[in-house]
Amino acid sequence: NAGVTQTPKFRVLKTGQSMTLLCAQDMNHEYMYWYRQDPGMGLRLIHYSVGEGTTAKGEVPDGYNVSRLKKQNFLLGLESAAPSQTSVYFCASSWDRANEQYFGPGTRLTVT
């Protein structure tokens, strides 16, 4: 039982490049989330999904897109990376929005 996994662990992008971060969970959770963590800012919700085929915007969605084609996977895309997107990205999942969230190990992204 791997829990929540994220790929890749680290990535360096140049401004304007695109990439996709993959989150996978094996707990059959309905809800999945993408957060970014910046110094002094805590965790901020980018996008979330309440089930397969659904996505919704969180607090800081601009510059990101997401897809949830399969229940176990939640993808976060950056179409044209900007230095302001340098951050640590965490994926999480839960049974519903009030239950505890299980977090992945994080992806450290640097945009130069």
Partner 1 sequence: ILNVEQSPQSLHVQEGDSTNFTCSFPSSNFYALHWYRWETAKSPEALFVMTLNGDEKKKGRISATLNTKEGYSYLYIKGSQPEDSATYLCAFNNAGNMLTFGGGTRLMVKP
Neighbours of 96 (CB within 10 A): 9
Selected binder of partner 1 within 74, 85, 87, 104 (CB under 8 A): 104
Kindly provide the b/e burial profile for residues 4-18, where b requires at least 16 CB atoms within 10 angstroms of the residue's own CB: bebeeeebebeeeee
Selected binder of partner 1 within 1, 40, 62, 69 (CB under 8 A): 40
The tokens describing 96, both together, are 């519903």
- Which CB, 26 or 59, lies closer to partner 1? 59
Binding flag, residue 33, partner 1 (CB under 8 A): yes
Amino acid identity of residue 11, one-letter, is R
Binding flag, residue 62, partner 1 (CB under 8 A): no
- Which CB, 16 or 56, lies closer to partner 1? 56
